[in-house]
């Protein structure tokens, strides 16, 4: 079957992916571009996977609607961080800097979104590690690792 999609208004294109590691069918909706990926075990019939996607169509549409419009982060955009909005500005040097005046992102304008995203993930990881250390100390336990994932877009998560 070429170009699989869910019928309706609007039709939803599906990206089919076979995986030798997959034990069951999974659906993911990219928060970046709204792409719906249907991952299935290698030996599963494509028809079964598409039937699964059709059975979850309401869930898919709900998440695509909740996703909202795409916002391109670039120079001049407002980005929320820690309860405040910061204006993204062109920066100098090698590192992203966050001050009361805004977020200064160095480099070419086409890379501002990617550089800022990477920097915000570092901040999130640092804050998560700090909170995890505090809670682990309170509980008298340790933890082995931290991982940041966006599981809101996977059915059943």
Rounded Cα gap, residues 58 and 74, in angstroms: 33
- The per-residue pLDDT for 150 is 67
Rounded Cα gap, residues 123 and 118, in angstroms: 9
Q: Which two tokens stand for residue 132?
A: 């995890």
pTM beyond cutoff 0.85:
no
> Mean pLDDT for each consecutive 10-residue tract of the chain (157 residues)?
78 92 91 88 93 93 84 87 93 93 94 92 94 96 87 61
Q: Which two tokens stand for residue 134?
A: 């505090």
Among 63, 67, 61, 51, residue whose Cα is nearest residue 10: 61
- The per-residue pLDDT for 53 is 93
Rounded Cα gap, residues 52 and 67, in angstroms: 22
- The per-residue pLDDT for 9 is 85
- The per-residue pLDDT for 1 is 47
10: which DSSP letter?
Answer: S
Rounded Cα gap, residues 122 and 130, in angstroms: 12
Q: Which two tokens stand for residue 69?
A: 């419009």
- The per-residue pLDDT for 67 is 82
Partnered with residue 38 across adjacent β-strands are 16, 27
């Amino acid at each position: 079957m070429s170009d699989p999609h869910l019928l309706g208004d609007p039709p939803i294109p599906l990206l089919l992916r076979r995986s030798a590691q997959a034990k069951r069918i999974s659906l993911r909706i990219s928060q970046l571009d709204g792409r719906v990926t249907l991952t299935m075990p290698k030996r599963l019939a494509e028809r079964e996977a598409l039937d699964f996607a059709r059975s979850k169509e309401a869930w898919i549409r709900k998440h695509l609607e909740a996703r909202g419009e795409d916002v391109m982060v670039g120079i001049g955009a407002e980005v929320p961080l820690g309860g405040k909005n910061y204006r993204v500005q062109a920066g100098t040097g090698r590192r992203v800097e966050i001050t009361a005046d805004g977020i200064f992102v160095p480099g070419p304008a086409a890379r501002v979104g990617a550089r800022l995203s990477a920097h915000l993930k570092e901040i999130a990881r640092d804050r998560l590690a700090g909170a995890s250390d505090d809670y682990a100390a309170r509980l008298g336990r340790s933890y082995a690792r931290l991982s940041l994932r966006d599981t809101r877009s996977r059915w059943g998560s």
